[in-house]
Amino acid sequence: MTTNINANLLESGSDELERYALEECVKRQRLDHRTSVLVTPADRCALAGKFARLGANVLLGDDPAEQQPSEGRIVAMGLSEQIRFTPLRLAGVPDDLPGEPFDLIVVNHGLCDMGYEQARKLVRLLQFKLRIRGKLYVSVLGLHSEQGDGYPDRERPVEERYAPAAAKKYGIAGPVCLYSERNLFMLLLDAGTSMLRTLTTTYGNVKGVAVRV
């Protein structure tokens, strides 16, 4: 049975995809107590902190410019023993990351900042940074969200989409690739993962969960 502190963490402002990931962390911690998680981008360390409070060891990856503010937040949360920051750009993920292979990887919106083929290669690379049966949680900006209004590549196949959109609120400048739920399903499948679920939020953004087999 989930403890009160775990229940509070699962309910405290997480979106549906994050709740799936946190619930999986709880299950794995019961069995092993050594759950390892990669979270990118840092996003003010909020999700990383939730994983750490569940007992997981967390690698937080983001642009090098985020290292100092992120490490300050980690110290302020009192979680320096469980969260480690590493400079990480999704466009150039290194062959080896500290702490890999991971049980869980969470990627928020970063895939939109590149074309479909590059995103497919990245997902394939991330898959092999998971343990067997490890899970990948991906969130992308949706074609049918507010970012899709006036999007120049809206009618193009996803493989050809890469254009400016109304994405400033998500910290994305320049061209992006927007996805329908089917597009994300096919991306994760094309990358060689085994699909568990996809969903579209009320606001039109798209989420997916896949597993390494």
List, for residues 69-128, the tens digit of each pLDDT value: 999 999 999 999 999 999 999 989 998 999 999 999 999 988 999 999 999 999 999 999
Q: What is the pLDDT of residues 146-185, one digit of tens each?
A: 889 889 999 999 999 999 987 666 666 789 999 999 999 9
pTM of whole model > 0.85? yes
> Which residue, 205, 193, 207, is CA-closest to 133?
193
Return the percent helix, strand and coil in the chain, to nearest 5: 40, 25, 35
- Whether residue 198 contacts residue 185, with contact meaning beta carbons closer than 8 Å, is answered with yes
What is d(CA 97, CA 82) in angstroms, rounded to the nearest whole number?
16
Spatial strand order of the sheet with 206-211 comes to 83-87, 57-62, 36-40, 102-108, 130-140, 206-211, 194-200
Task: Break the chain into its structural domains and give their ranges.
Answer: 4-211
- Tokens, residue 152: 């120049």
Distance between CA 213 and CA 211 in Å, rounded?
6
Class of domain 4-211 (CATH, top level): alpha beta
- Residues 10 and 18: beta-carbon distance below 8 Å: no
Q: What is the pLDDT of residues 179-206, one digit of tens each?
A: 999 999 999 999 999 999 999 999 999 9
Supply the DSSP symbol for 45: G
Is 104 within 8 Å of 32 (Cβ atoms)?
no
Q: For residue 197, what is the DSSP state?
A: E
Residue 171's region, left for phi above 0, alpha for psi from -120 to 50, else beta, is left
